[in-house]
Amino acid sequence: MKITLLRSLVMAGALLCFGLSQAQEVSGTVSDAVGPLPGASVVVKGTTNGTQTDFDGNYTIDGLDDDAILVFSYIGYSNQEIPVAGQATIDVVLQEDAQALDEVVIVGYGSQAKKEITSSVVSVSTEDFNQGVVQEPTQLLQGKVAGLSVVNRGGNPNQEPVIRLRGISTVGGNQQPLVVIDGILGGSLNSVDPADIENITVLKDGSAAAIYGSRGSAGVIVVTTKRGKAGQPLRVSYNGQLGVSTIANQIEIMDRGEFLAVGGNDLGSDTDWRDEVTQTGIAQVHNIAASGGGESFNYRVAANIRDTDNILINSGFQQFNFRTNFTGLLFDDKLKIDVNAAFTQRDSQIGFNEALRYATSYNPTAPVFGDDAPFPFNSAQFGGYFETLGLFDSFNPVAIAELNRNDRFATTLNYGVNLNYRVTDNLTVNLNYAAQNIKEDANIYYPTTGYWRGNALSPTRRGRADFGNLERRFRLLEGYAAYTNSFADKFNFTVTAGYSFQENDFNYNYFQIGDFPPGVDFDFSNNISAAQDLLEAGRIEADSGREDGDRIIRFFGRVNMTFDDAIYFDASISREGSSRFGTENQWGIFPAVGAGADLNKYLELPNVNLLKVRAGWGLTGAIPPAVGLYQQIFNVQNGVDGQSGAATTQDNGRAANPDLKWEEKSEFNFGVEFAMDRFGATADYFIRDIRDFVTFANVDAAEFNGFSQRWQNSGQLGVTGFELSANYDVIRNDKLTYNTGVIFTQNKNTLEENPQGDQVDGNLGSPGQNNTNVIRIKEGEEVGQIWGPVFSGNVDANGTPILLDINGDGELVTGQGSALDDNADFRVLGTGIPDFEIGWTNQVTFGNWDANVFFRAVVGHSLVNSFRAFYEPIIGSQASYNFVNTKLQRDDIRTAQFSDYYVEKADFLRLDNMSIGYNFDLKETSYIKGLRLSLAAQNLFTITGYSGVDPEPSLQDGGLPAGELLGDDPTDQIDEIQANPLIAGIERREAYFTSTTITLGLNVNF
């Protein structure tokens, strides 16, 4: 002890003697109450000069002035500041911070201490993610972030979820949040395996997202992947999961006996069609990763394999993902190099959701195979399957699933390099280059024996093959500098300024060919030269498109300031230009500002760690959904005989709009954060105003040279909302911990201006309800109003529902063409957007055991139950179709008439996720450093009064279905390919059946 002390004194004296002529070096260890903390941050206060501790908690930092102050930090621990004051060795023991007030959070182009952030930002780490077989990253967050909705109705693994952050953010532009992966803007979430994610940060309000420009107008999701640590020896880990999925819910229909009792046609069999087209889903996930590092570098390499069989037969996917990252330091640790690369290959069997639809409506007495028909039937003509010939919209669901094929093959390659150079202790410069290439090939095949879409009865054109491919290329080049300084011991600031260049290139091709030789059991998509369409003019359908040079250039700057470690101020501005506008309107300016204060610094409330109020405002812009929409477009009309030339036509064309400009979203947010030792809460209230939607609108043809449509700016939408999150450590001791947390989300979306006028939309479709629109879009009203007549509860002698004279004028006006008339007997039957959502998390640890139980409730929304509207009435002419048999079914209703009778409240409480795990104790000499077993369950039960398939909100409608290809209808406009967020609240008949998944997990660390 004396020798150590003497050595320290001598070293300190020597450093003091030479302090005027050379910089000082300090080393030491950083630990907590348990042991060393690898990866802890050691930074010179007011500068960017810093380092991280190695695997044993050791650090060394040089280039220090004698008056320097070292800041020691680690996620989940309170920061410590220690003056160097001539010391050569500084050992620090960090104290746990239950509320993680000093946690460093990744924000746009940098990071901030959590307590200094003036906007609404939520960070979710690995331990808080949803457990079980998680097929895509947003499932990790479902119900975990107030204001974030992640909805995949039915849970189809081959369909991307709808992601909404604080309600509707645009009507005509990008509706999904921007994704940033390891600092790379615009990355695809499909390129990241959930097992590789360390943290996800959600930037919710305009002031937080404004630094990212137009691409952040719908919010920002920042993904940080797992990395190796400096000084860490090679470590290898394996994570494996085996999941089993079974159907959780499906709408009730009649069995054979019930069907015959109401007059159904008897074909002699007893078939449970839904059982025939579904299966027990099996999912396997295997992840192996290797990580490590030395004094000046770290790395991680991971490979992931996923093999999933969905609950719909002949559907699923196989995915391989490889990800690597490397960080190295050069030039006396002044240059930091980050290299990231990822490759994903996914082979998907999309299947056909129509098989689930027809399994609901197909005759339950019909046989699966034609050989079992009660009358002579040519089975071979239909691939061996039975078909109810001559009926409209009636197809064997097993034949749909078994005979046809719908495959996708996709590859995604990401790579990026970031160079960070510390010019001085106060100034750093960054250069970032990244690229992403996505290629997708699709093949859909309907054989000549297929009755559904294969035209097995056609004398001229049997069989069909659809081919599609697309490619998206994205390039990003960014440079920015950050200057950090402080003065007067109380004032700290960081100034960031930079430039960003982004370019997207996109192209696609589609063609359809058919009329293959009948009677041959062969997949002619592999030999399309046999198609007789090649011999007939006008048979082949084709489409293609290309968008090159789609560029965004942005100049941005930001100032972050802190005074007295309690008062915070941020301001940013972005000048952004997009090639999607004409030359006069390409550029927009988007500012943001925020301020906050930790009032407890001055109030000094007992047992209170934080009482922060903050407010922020930001303006962001949104660009059109495609390139060149401001331009005039003609179409080509070919000669009838193919020889007489072609001419331009205005059919499906559009007028030019050189004045097309940026859509703008202004958002104000006010928040309060409160924290004690065991309790923490955050509340936010926001007001969002969206103006000048970029939409496809009808215009006066006389005014626009014969064109009746064009893209223009019109409309205004207002969103207000309140969000609350709170958590409490109920029990916290050495043996047992129990933490519970609640999030609450409420928002209201109001269409304040609608130049297109009031409309009814959301067509139910055929058969029989082609002209039935069920959603009202009205200026000054909430979005998602379900609109229709009201059932009196009585029927007439013919079984037709008697509707109410709502306005009492003695005249019953319930025709669809009169839905918006002043004297119409229609009213709001419900709303498709929920009033509020609640998530309730419970986490328990006891010794080596841990458990997590998560409930989610969604309240206030309704759904149009399309199954009931089509298949519940006992219509005599439909005796060959099955009937829906819910608790609401009435035998006396014998006419299909839409009314409030088919609109149901869809409130629900769901046990979304539950897991239990055990960490084994291992000998220190064991080659295995960690071993964990876990059991997880997803969607264990749902309590709801809704009688349909899934009570989840339907937040949008339309768009390109998952089973169809871009270009298969060349007359589709861009607005038809995109889903419409103004049409909310319809459960379509193609709804995917919900499932319950039980997962066994194994984690091994070497």
CB count within 10 Å of CB 1 equals 5
Give bridge partners of residue 571 from the DSSP assignment.
Answer: 559, 593
Poorest-confidence range of 61-65, 71-75, 166-170?
Answer: 71-75
Query: Which tokens in the block code for residue 867?
Result: 């199954």
The per-residue pLDDT for 191 is 79
Q: pLDDT per residue over 167-202, tens digit each? A: 888 887 777 888 888 888 877 777 788 889 888 889
Q: Which of 184, 179, 173, 107 is closest to 136 using CA atoms?
A: 179
Q: pLDDT per residue over 459-493, tens digit each? A: 888 999 999 999 999 999 999 999 999 988 889 99
Residue ranges of domains in the chain, CATH in brackets: 2-93 (2.60.40.10)
What is the pLDDT averaged over residues 548-570?
Answer: 93
Query: Which tokens in the block code for residue 372?
Result: 């079992």
Query: Which tokens in the block code for residue 958?
Result: 């339309």
The per-residue pLDDT for 413 is 94
Confidence of residue 2 (pLDDT cuts 50, 70, 90): very low
The per-residue pLDDT for 853 is 94
The conformation of residue 278, written as its DSSP 8-state character, comes to B
Query: Rounded CA gap, 236 and 197, in Å?
Result: 16
DSSP H/E element including 198: strand 197-203
What is the pLDDT averaged over residues 888-906?
Answer: 94
Distance of CA 426 to CAs 82, 103, 551, Å? 19, 22, 33
Q: Is the peptide bond before 755 cis (omega within 30 degrees of 0)?
A: no
The per-residue pLDDT for 344 is 94
CB 361 within 8 A of CB 882: yes
Q: How do beta strands 24-31 and 92-93 pair?
A: parallel
913: pLDDT strictly greater than 60:
yes
Confidence of residue 455 (pLDDT cuts 50, 70, 90): very high
Confidence of residue 805 (pLDDT cuts 50, 70, 90): very high
What is the pLDDT averaged over residues 160-173?
Answer: 84
The per-residue pLDDT for 972 is 67
926: pLDDT strictly greater than 50:
yes
291-295, 362-366, 813-817 — most confident range: 362-366
What is the pLDDT averaged over residues 738-765?
Answer: 92
CB 343 within 8 A of CB 324: no
434: pLDDT strictly greater than 90:
yes
The per-residue pLDDT for 550 is 92
Confidence of residue 1 (pLDDT cuts 50, 70, 90): very low
Q: pLDDT per residue over 295-320, tens digit each? A: 889 999 999 999 999 999 999 999 99
Q: Which residue has the higher pLDDT, 456 or 175?
A: 456
The per-residue pLDDT for 96 is 65
Per-chain mean pLDDT for the chain: 89
Query: Rounded CA gap, 919 and 51, in Å?
Result: 32
The per-residue pLDDT for 489 is 81
CA 870 remoteness from chain centre: 31
- Cα angle 542, 548, 554 (rounded to 5 degrees) comes to 145
14: pLDDT strictly greater than 50:
no
Q: pLDDT per residue over 215-254, tens digit each? A: 888 888 889 899 888 888 899 999 999 999 999 999 999 9
3: pLDDT strictly greater than 60:
no
The per-residue pLDDT for 34 is 66
Q: Which residue has the higher pLDDT, 907 or 63?
A: 907
The per-residue pLDDT for 138 is 80
Distance of CA 156 to CAs 308, 963, 993, Å? 11, 12, 8
Q: Which of 210, 222, 215 is closest to 107 using CA atoms?
A: 222
741: pLDDT strictly greater than 90:
yes
The per-residue pLDDT for 98 is 46
Whole-model pTM? 0.86
Q: Which residue has the higher pLDDT, 211 or 381?
A: 381
Cα Rg for the chain, rounded, in angstroms? 31
Percent of the chain beyond pLDDT 70?
A: 94
The per-residue pLDDT for 13 is 37
782: pLDDT strictly greater than 70:
yes
783: pLDDT strictly greater than 50:
yes
What is the pLDDT averaged over residues 621-628?
Answer: 89
The per-residue pLDDT for 7 is 38
